[in-house]
Structure 1
Amino acid sequence: MPATATVPAAAPPPSPLRLLIVVPPLAGHLLPARALARAWSARGHRVAWMGPEAALRPLLGPEAVVHPTGARLFRGQAVGGAAAVRSLWEGFVVPHTRFTLGAVRRAVEQWRPDVVLADQHSPAGALAAHGAGVPWASFAPSSLEIGDPLGGDGELTAWREGVLRALWERAGLPAAEYADPRFSPGLVLAPSCAALLGLDPRRVPDSYALVGPLLDARPEPFPWEQLAGRPHRVLVTMGTLSAEVAGGFLDRTAAALAELPDVQAVVAAPGEVALPPGAIGRGRVPVLELLERGAVDAVLCHGGMNTVGESLVHGRPLVVAPIRHDQPVTAGRLAALGAAVRVDFATATPEQLRSALRTVLDDPDYRRSAELVGRQLRDGGGAVAATERLERFARAPHREHPAAWSRPLSGDRVGP
């Protein structure tokens, strides 16, 4: 009687992974992280967030797992140059790190994530994860930390290094294990590309994953029927944090648009801005849907990485009026790449704004350059590629991680 063949048992499916996301409570950081979190959940994994309920819940929804940090006010920040970098760290990043570190440590200890995703401007995530022996990946939605955005300013670079080391020391971590909490030694996820970050693609570190924009639908009511049959349409949006300073700029932009009768504008602006005839002004507009539908031909914005990435992925040239932080860096790179015209936020006249808009609308080279950068961004793979890279990192043997990542956590996991 012939022997019965032994059928090998099927390998059990890999267990779900837990991801803890630590980002500042700012839309420019939360929105791309939300896109990654949704892709992560779609693969059967679990995700939790750190931050103030009032800021996170409207963006994440009622089902999101949020470990609250509480909320506090932070000092105002300078508008441009080295002063803006210093005030970003002194007025927000450092006090935010000190304020949230205890809560992040408790969440890491109790929820026991397999990996922490720590925004470069939320070092508490990296500090807490390192101290608990949990692998942590860095999240870089801003262009302010990668490459040499400070233009070789040695004094400013040394000052920031001192700030980072002081945070490490204040967290009680061993000096011998110091690692820049902005840069995980294992994985840095950036929703950008080499060209936009000013990097030589041949010298991008293996630990970097330049995945391009993390796109996430943000439905907003919109009067699509009001889009007129003019030859051109322009989207004007200055970001969620610029309302308090953008009023004068938007007034000058409206004056410029009034002299462009062949252009219809879609403007994200408070109601008090006087818009030219035919313009559509709303407090919030569906930026991504407008681009996906091909409803706009160019974008005028502040240079925030979300708007820039979404515009370029859809091949739209830009007029960029940077206000603060990484926006001047991004604007400079876009201009150098030929995908945008840069104007001065504080001083640009209606005539200069009109000329800039006319240039990106009429000169096809700007559209071609935007499409070229957009292809490089799309090649990064977006949220799916980011999730796959993060999953491989989380499942990698501990021997591939620094020694601090092999420390056992005490107790059992809690929470969903």
Structure 2
Amino acid sequence: MSRFLFVVPPLTGHINPAVGVAAALAGRGHRVAWVCADAGLVRRLAGEGAEVFACAGAVEGGRPPELRGPEALRFLWEWFLLPLAEAMAPGVRAAVEEFRPDVVVADQQAFAGALVAERMGVVWATSATTSAEFTDPLAGLPRVREWLDGRLAGLRAAIGDPAGTADPRFSPHLVLAFSAPELAGAAAGGVRWVGPSIAARPSPSGFPWEWLDAGRATVLVTLGTANTDVGGRFLDVCRVALRERADRVQGVIVDPGGLLGGAGDDKDVLVVPSVPQLALLERVAAVVCHAGHNTVCEALWHGVPLVVAPVRDDQPVVAGQVADAGAGVRVRFGRVTARRLGAALDTVLGEPACRVAAGRIRTAFRAAGGAPAAADHLDALARES
């Protein structure tokens, strides 16, 4: 039996892919534990019995919604990723000392996991819950790259091994990518493409399944868990476009922040704070979303084409992957009109090419192996270490 310590940021989209992998390892008799700044969130997603070591760190908050491009990237690093790593490091060190893992599985944005493991001489693997880093998002931005390299060097000096050389985002031992080249494109050597990690998860009860009309195509609209504060206008545009197609389409809009005021709960557009997303994806014809990596991959796992409207961070890269693969249409989050969004919906619902491309990625994702394949790679790494 080996021991695996998962180090994750307090973000649902980064924990969910690891949950299935952790369950697969535990099912083989291995011992699994977690380090996260939000133990309650881990237990809600991984089960109340999850062994979680506490650490400091807070969820990102207060980011100006108008930030885009390099400034948004700088804000993400300066005000969230780097402070989170520094805050998590003492808790990660304590967890490694107590749990004595054979392998640390560090989320690609939980730098403390990689740097502390390196410093303490523990083999570590990268859990890449987005494929955006594989496409060199800083190409053409030499000043941003120089700034970022300097900040990572400072972080290593503070919490890692000053003599170390590995980029904390890319383990030299193992990088698990929860996608496939058919969507993400080629990547550097050493990446193990395992496809999405799809596992059972807690779902909100009470979804009105009887509301779905089998005679019309159902469209799911969601902006994920991190864009609640900026999506009011976009969700309203989606509602208008859906109602204009009510003769053949009905929509389910996820509105956790109540930005639409609860209006629109009728036979054409259902507005709800949350949905059982995996179960609903089996019933929908298209997804409109922010191009969050998990949402995109879960939709394509089901062969569902997308309309993607990236907001920030890795989302423009993921949206580009969807469009380049032919599995969806990209629109501008901040400027899209009901007419433009409706045209994009008509394309993904009416043109066979989008559904064929989505089906091709679905096949690739399922062939990649998912959580069991990721567990195979981690199991082998533990035996070699």
1:312 alignment partner, SS class = helix
Question: 1:328 deviation in Å?
Answer: 0.6
1:243 alignment partner, SS class = coil
1:48 alignment partner, SS class = strand
CA distance in 2, matches of 1:264, 1:40: 40
- Which position in structure 1 is the counterpart of 2:300? 312
CA distance in 1, matches of 2:262, 2:211: 19
**Percent same amino acid among aligned pairs?**
46
CA distance in 2, matches of 1:242, 1:147: 24
- Which position in structure 2 is the counterpart of 1:11? none
Q: 1:215 aligns with which of 191, 195, 198?
A: 198
Q: 2:274 aligns with which of 273, 284, 290?
A: 284
Mean Cα displacement is larger for which, 125-134 or 264-273? 264-273
What is the CA RMSD across the aligned residues, in angstroms? 1.6
Decide whether the 8 Å contact of 1:250 with 1:273 is kept in 2: no
Q: Structure 1: which 5+ runs fail to align?
A: 1-15, 399-416
Question: 1:60 deviation in Å?
Answer: 2.8
CA distance in 1, matches of 2:221, 2:125: 34
- The 5 A counterparts of 1:217-366 are 217-218=200-201, 219-221=203-205, 222-261=207-246, 262-270=248-256, 271=258, 272-275=261-264, 277-278=266-267, 279-292=269-282, 295-366=283-354
- Which position in structure 1 is the counterpart of 2:180? 193
CA distance in 2, matches of 1:71, 1:186: 27
CA distance in 2, matches of 1:106, 1:344: 45
Residues 83 and 144 (structure 1), Cα distance of their counterparts in 2 relative to 1, 3 Å cut: farther
CA distance in 2, matches of 1:169, 1:184: 18
1:145 alignment partner, SS class = helix
CA distance in 2, matches of 1:289, 1:73: 28
- The 5 A counterparts of 1:12-91 are 16-51=1-36, 52-72=38-58, 74=60, 76-77=62-63, 79-91=67-79
CA distance in 1, matches of 2:230, 2:29: 43
Question: 1:283 deviation in Å?
Answer: 1.1
Decide whether the 8 Å contact of 1:235 with 1:267 is kept in 2: yes
1:100 alignment partner, SS class = helix
Decide whether the 8 Å contact of 1:40 with 1:387 is kept in 2: yes
Alpha-carbon deviations, 1:85-104, whole Å to 9, x = none? 21111111100000110110
- The 5 A counterparts of 1:105-184 are 105-171=93-159, 173-175=161-163, 177-184=164-171
Question: 1:40 deviation in Å?
Answer: 1.1
Residues 327 and 178 (structure 1), Cα distance of their counterparts in 2 relative to 1, 3 Å cut: same
Decide whether the 8 Å contact of 1:303 with 1:321 is kept in 2: yes
Decide whether the 8 Å contact of 1:258 with 1:276 is kept in 2: no
CA distance in 2, matches of 1:88, 1:354: 32
Decide whether the 8 Å contact of 2:127 with 2:176 is kept in 1: yes
Question: 1:74 deviation in Å?
Answer: 4.3
1:244 alignment partner, SS class = coil
Decide whether the 8 Å contact of 1:190 with 1:211 is kept in 2: yes
Decide whether the 8 Å contact of 2:304 with 2:358 is kept in 1: yes
Which residue identity is paired with 1:267? I
Decide whether the 8 Å contact of 2:35 with 2:53 is kept in 1: yes
Decide whether the 8 Å contact of 1:143 with 1:149 is kept in 2: no
CA distance in 2, matches of 1:227, 1:114: 48
CA distance in 1, matches of 2:159, 2:338: 50
Question: 1:54 deviation in Å?
Answer: 3.6
Which residue identity is paired with 2:159? A
Question: 1:71 deviation in Å?
Answer: 4.1
CA distance in 1, matches of 2:333, 2:94: 42
Decide whether the 8 Å contact of 2:329 with 2:348 is kept in 1: yes
Alpha-carbon deviations, 1:263-307, whole Å to 9, x = none? 011221144143273222221111111223xx1111001111111
Which residue identity is paired with 1:314? H
Alpha-carbon deviations, 1:349-378, whole Å to 9, x = none? 111111111111000101011111222222
Decide whether the 8 Å contact of 1:168 with 1:178 is kept in 2: no
Q: Structure 2: which 5+ runs fail to align?
A: none
Question: 1:167 deviation in Å?
Answer: 0.9
TM-score of the two chains, using structure 1 as the length reference: 0.86
- Which position in structure 2 is the counterpart of 1:384? 372
Mean Cα displacement is larger for which, 275-284 or 233-242? 275-284
CA distance in 1, matches of 2:68, 2:28: 41
CA distance in 2, matches of 1:386, 1:54: 25
Question: 1:109 deviation in Å?
Answer: 1.1
Mean Cα displacement is larger for which, 185-194 or 47-56? 47-56
Decide whether the 8 Å contact of 2:115 with 2:160 is kept in 1: no
CA distance in 2, matches of 1:33, 1:73: 18
Alpha-carbon deviations, 1:228-287, whole Å to 9, x = none? 133311111110111111111111111111100210112211441432732222211111
Which residue identity is paired with 2:279? E
Alpha-carbon deviations, 1:178-198, whole Å to 9, x = none? 211111101001101123323
